[in-house]
Structure 1
Amino acid sequence: MSFIIDKLRKIFPPSIHSFNLEMDRVLRAIEEERQSIVSLSQKIDDQNHLISNELKNISLQTSQIKKQTSEAVWAHIFHDTIVESTWLKDKTFSPGRWAVGYPYLYVMYRILNEVHPKRILELGLGQSTKMIAQYATSFDDVKHVVVENDKSWIDFMLKSFQLSERSSIVQLDLEMATYKEDKAIRVYKNFKEQFVHSKFDFILIDGPIGSDMQQYSRIDILNILPGCIGEDFVIMMDDCERTAENQTTLEIERCLKRYSIPYKRGRYVGQKEFVLILSKNLEFITSM
């Protein structure tokens, strides 16, 4: 600014009044230019914000399309895999939304068909139950237990398929529990008392409902680990695209590490995601 004033003094030395008038004009011009720059900067910021939001929308849509495409591919893989199954008689399933997805059904079928687990614990009655119940019916050395809280849902599901004596449903009410710093986690009431003395080689976790949980979800299994698993085991946790379920899988891993139990972790992605935590000798399941 001093440079401008000095220059103006050289131009208008005779008249201080003229100099002051010219100074006012120049200062107004400078202020107008500043306002113009501020306005332009705001327009650029607004435009960048719009572009940023549009890019986020495009990224979200691309992610959804990718998941839907992946789910469709898994559907084909699943149907091709079960087409000649000798024990899966009813091959009609309705995956998605609250139910498990096609990658879950595919991996579950492969485990049942090739690993042949004998003691199965399933948390949450649904599409997976339709498959496991048929598996249990076909092999007399299998015991299958399903935990479900909703009596009306149990009655509805049992209208569409029958369980053999090798499958049973344990109806447990829900309550809110505390785990670490999380003070409100939905769990099955008396779950620990029901299963603390049981052992399983295949545990499937798709309940209770956990979409509204914040830090942890479906922590029931933590109350009976590691005593509930044998030397060979598979734990499947559905809905691991959500933070709370994913955090619970990390707690399962911490428990296994604390007791020096070797394990492997795997993840499958379709419309939803699920995590596998299993004994090291079954590592092939993570890449099927």
Structure 2
Amino acid sequence: MSFIIDKLRKIFPPSIHSFNLEMDRVLRAIEEERQSIVSLSQKIDDQNQLISNELKNISLQTSQIKKQTSEAVWAHIFHDTIVESTWLKDKTFSPGRWAVGYPYLYVMYRILNEVHPKRILELGLGQSTKMIAQYATSFDDVKHVVVENDKSWIDFMLKSFQLSERSSIVQLDLEMATYKEDKAIRVYKNFKEQFVHSKFDFILIDGPIGSDMQQYSRIDILNILPGCIGEDFVIMMDDCERTAENQTTLEIERCLKRYSIPYKRGRYVGQKEFVLILSKNLEFITSM
């Protein structure tokens, strides 16, 4: 009899109830498998994100180590270069952080010592001022002008070193200005009026403070170019690892191109970066 029942079950379809039970079982199995796949996929995504974050951290750490190593190498090169300098009497400097770095000091010294600029404009009072002031003291035909906004900083710095009559500080307040589509750029007030009729062969830009600027920073020089430079010139812009300062150097280049002034561009890297824009005859400065 059981044999006949088995044969009939194979011939006739199962009852609706049995069919529904089987379908529920199959669907539950499929859902469990789907959930398992989703869970595994999420674990893989989480693991990939952890790996990605770790790789980014390693990359940042490696980059920082490279910069610190580069800065240390530049420090040795700088100290070896100035050790026998006849005009740089005070060889103590405190580079880094807000101040210029060792590559900046090294290139600046080489320019002063070998190019012998006579008209120097420095934006931002600091460690570079200590060097240029000694250079100006040693050479009668040099005129050195420093622009600074902070009176208390001026007073503090002048307690540590003395300026000769060939170096002067011009205190200019700060204000916010517009340049192209950027509506808030920190600049020196009345800078153009102060220097529009002056010419310089060495311009150093490390002010005003630009770390919070978004698109452009330290654009003061753009208001007096190209009339402020002679046939032979060097412009140094510090902090060019930042977008805003780097964008300003590109604007300087556009200005020179607009007036068909030949130039070369160079970049030095340590803990920070700076860009040189200079007349073509001084191209050697880009690879010292």
1:284/1:7 CA distance change after superposition, 3 Å: farther
Greater alpha carbon shift after TM alignment, 21-30 vs 231-240: 21-30
CA-CA distance at 1:6 after TM superposition: 20
CA-CA distance at 1:21 after TM superposition: 1.4
Contact 1:67 1:269 in 2 (8 A): yes
Contact 1:5 1:23 in 2 (8 A): no
Q: Deviation per CA, 1:201-245: give whole Å up to 9, x if none.
A: 000000000000001000000000000000000000000000000
Look up the SS of the partner of 1:159 in the other structure: helix
Q: How does 1:137-286 map to 2 (within 5 A)?
A: 137-286=137-286
Look up the SS of the partner of 1:96 in the other structure: coil
Contact 1:177 1:184 in 2 (8 A): yes
| Separation in structure 2 between the aligned mates of residue 87 and residue 2 of structure 1, nearest angstrom | 117
TM-score by length of 2: 0.95
| Separation in structure 1 between the aligned mates of residue 78 and residue 3 of structure 2, nearest angstrom | 79
1:11/1:52 CA distance change after superposition, 3 Å: farther
CA-CA distance at 1:10 after TM superposition: 8.0
CA-CA distance at 1:19 after TM superposition: 2.5
CA-CA distance at 1:2 after TM superposition: 32
| Separation in structure 2 between the aligned mates of residue 157 and residue 76 of structure 1, nearest angstrom | 26
Look up the SS of the partner of 1:265 in the other structure: strand
Q: Deviation per CA, 1:29-83: give whole Å up to 9, x if none.
A: 0011001101111111111111111111111111111100000000000000000
Deviation above 2 Å: which 4+ runs of structure 1? Answer: 1-20
Which structure has the greater CA radius of gyration? 2
1:28/1:256 CA distance change after superposition, 3 Å: same
Contact 1:205 1:218 in 2 (8 A): yes
CA-CA distance at 1:24 after TM superposition: 1.1
1:223/1:22 CA distance change after superposition, 3 Å: same
The number of residues matched between the two structures is 288
Q: Which runs of 5+ in 2 are unaligned?
A: none
Q: Deviation per CA, 1:86-124: give whole Å up to 9, x if none.
A: 100000000000000000000000000000000000000
| Separation in structure 2 between the aligned mates of residue 282 and residue 7 of structure 1, nearest angstrom | 102
| Separation in structure 1 between the aligned mates of residue 5 and residue 188 of structure 2, nearest angstrom | 81
Q: Deviation per CA, 1:116-161: give whole Å up to 9, x if none.
A: 0000000000000000000000011110000000011000000000
Contact 1:121 1:204 in 2 (8 A): yes
| Separation in structure 2 between the aligned mates of residue 151 and residue 46 of structure 1, nearest angstrom | 54
Identity %: 100
| Separation in structure 2 between the aligned mates of residue 280 and residue 266 of structure 1, nearest angstrom | 11
1:32/1:281 CA distance change after superposition, 3 Å: same
1:248/1:16 CA distance change after superposition, 3 Å: same
1:5/1:285 CA distance change after superposition, 3 Å: farther
CA-CA distance at 1:8 after TM superposition: 16
1:12/1:255 CA distance change after superposition, 3 Å: farther
Greater alpha carbon shift after TM alignment, 45-54 vs 233-242: 45-54
Greater alpha carbon shift after TM alignment, 8-17 vs 217-226: 8-17
Q: Which runs of 5+ in 1 are unaligned?
A: none
Contact 1:240 1:272 in 2 (8 A): yes
| Separation in structure 2 between the aligned mates of residue 143 and residue 268 of structure 1, nearest angstrom | 26
1:175/1:208 CA distance change after superposition, 3 Å: same
Q: Deviation per CA, 1:156-201: give whole Å up to 9, x if none.
A: 0000000001100000000110000011100000000000000000
